[in-house]
């Protein structure tokens, strides 16, 4: 028997029972629902129902009854007939690749969204859905930690991903917005392990620089640290040089520094939420286990791998115990933890800021350069520079209502 396809668009003030009332009318005529979607902005409803109905008396009657029901409910209804060829072309799109584009910032402007969606449009991609991930913003009360994030679900074939992401990086630099681009695979939605660098990532300081200040060699060590983080000198070489300069520092100084570590904004909120949803967490640091273990206890981290200071008679010897944890070693630990947890490497996330973090950032399923040096941002998969560490949760698609607030 011949049939027709219609797209019903509903708009108006939202109220309980709208969807139930409209689908009840469709059910009376044995309509087949082919697709349905709904959005609600400031209590204003936008509802779309794509349905198939028997041609003739049934199709005429159902349209009439839907119009009458919409009038009763105080909403507007529009109908659009969909040719079968158009419908089949739409169905064929479901085999196309899917991607997620996430925008992050203290606030998001129309210009930022316009430029990002322009790139998507120019590449012939379709935006299937747009979702706000952060909570509603008051225009009266000042927020001590402003943040905004939206997620775009897009579909289509991308022939040159490097060119695509470069355009996003350019927008990010020019308009001060973080833009993350990810393939929408089962692994994106099933991450299980998050590994963090410590210094300048989980904490807002470079501990070795603080120790150097207390040892009276601050300027010398800072220069070596910065050069290492920029990738200008080998990390192992820089580590050995800096350790020698700390010789003679009292262990009591380490304790004072550990107690006063400045934890990065959003870190507690991130770790608490990850724990709530069953993630494992790890510190993979070129810093020191002395401070990593303190953070482990403070934040509830599962694993810590870092460098072991040699302490004799209550003072640093200027040496270290065991193997130096450099960039390659961090990547090794990431791989080992994935095996230990019985997960695929694609289910891992790595977060860091320095050149020695790049091996693990590029190995992980999702590598995030956090308030990183330019060279690191340019070579990482994703970057967060505009908000705190809890921005990681938005890249995973979490909404504020799912996140523990602090």
Rounded Cα distance between 100 and 109, Å, is 19
Per the annotation, the verdict on 199 as an active-site residue is yes
- Among candidate residues 30, 86, 199, 313, the one labeled active-site is 199
Q: How far is CA 300 from CA 40, 196, 274, 295, 296, in A?
A: 38, 13, 10, 8, 5
Residue 66 tokens read as 């839907």
Cα 249–chain centre separation: 40
Cβ-based burial of 41 (10 A; exposed 0-12, middle 13-18, buried ≥19):
exposed
Short-list 113, 183, 122, CA closest to 149: 113
- Among candidate residues 14, 86, 143, 197, the one labeled active-site is 197
Q: In 1-96, which ranges are continuous DSSP H helix?
A: 18-28, 57-73, 84-92
Rounded Cα distance between 261 and 295, Å, is 8
Residue 149's CB is within 10 A of a number of other CB atoms, namely 25
**Cβ-based neighbours of 7, under 8 Å, separated by 6 or more:** 48, 49, 50, 79, 80, 82
- DSSP lists the bridge partners of residue 159 as none
What counts of helices (H) and strands (E) characterise the chain?
Answer: 15, 15
Per the annotation, the verdict on 197 as an active-site residue is yes
Cβ-based burial of 7 (10 A; exposed 0-12, middle 13-18, buried ≥19):
middle
Kindly list the catalytic residues: 197, 199
């Amino acid at each position: 028997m011949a049939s027709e396809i219609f797209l019903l668009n509903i708009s108006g003030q939202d109220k309980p029972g709208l969807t139930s009332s409209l689908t009840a009318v469709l059910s009376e005529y044995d309509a087949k629902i082919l697709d349905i979607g709904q959005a609600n902005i400031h209590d204003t409803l936008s509802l779309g129902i794509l349905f198939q109905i028997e041609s003739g008396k049934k199709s005429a009657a159902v349209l009439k009854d839907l119009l009458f029901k919409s009038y009763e409910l105080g909403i507007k209804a529009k109908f659009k007939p969909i040719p079968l060829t158009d419908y089949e072309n739409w169905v064929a799109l479901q085999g196309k690749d899917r991607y997620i584009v996430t925008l992050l910032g203290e606030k998001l402007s129309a210009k930022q969204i316009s430029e990002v969606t322009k790139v998507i449009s120019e590449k012939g991609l379709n935006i299937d859905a747009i979702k706000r991930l952060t909570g509603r913003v008051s225009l009266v009360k000042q927020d001590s930690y402003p943040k905004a994030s939206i997620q775009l679900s897009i579909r289509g074939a991308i022939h040159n991903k490097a060119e695509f992401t470069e355009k996003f990086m350019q927008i990010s630099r020019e308009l001060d917005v973080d833009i993350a681009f990810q393939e929408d695979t089962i692994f994106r939605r099933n991450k299980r392990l998050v590994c963090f660098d410590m210094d300048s990532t989980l904490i807002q300081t470079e501990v070795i620089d603080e120790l150097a200040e207390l040892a009276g060699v601050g300027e010398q060590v800072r220069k070596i640290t910065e050069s290492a983080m920029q990738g200008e000198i080998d990390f192992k070489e820089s580590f050995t040089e800096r350790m020698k300069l700390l010789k003679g520092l009292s262990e009591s100084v380490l304790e004072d520094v550990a107690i006063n570590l400045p934890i990065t904004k959003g870190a507690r909120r991130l770790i608490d939420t990850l724990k709530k949803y069953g993630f494992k967490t790890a510190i993979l640091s070129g810093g020191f286990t002395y401070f990593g273990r303190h953070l482990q206890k403070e934040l509830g981290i599962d694993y810590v791998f870092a460098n072991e200071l040699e302490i004799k008679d209550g003072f640093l010897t200027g040496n270290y115990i065991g193997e130096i944890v450099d960039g390659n070693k961090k990547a090794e630990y990431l791989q080992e933890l994935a095996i230990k947890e019985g997960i695929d490497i694609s289910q891992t996330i790595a977060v860091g800021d320095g050149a020695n973090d790049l091996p693990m950032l590029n190995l992980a399923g999702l590598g995030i350069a956090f308030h990183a040096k330019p060279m690191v941002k340019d070579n990482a998969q994703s970057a967060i520079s505009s908000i705190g560490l809890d921005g990681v949760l938005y890249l995973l698609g979490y909404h504020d209502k799912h996140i523990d607030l602090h």
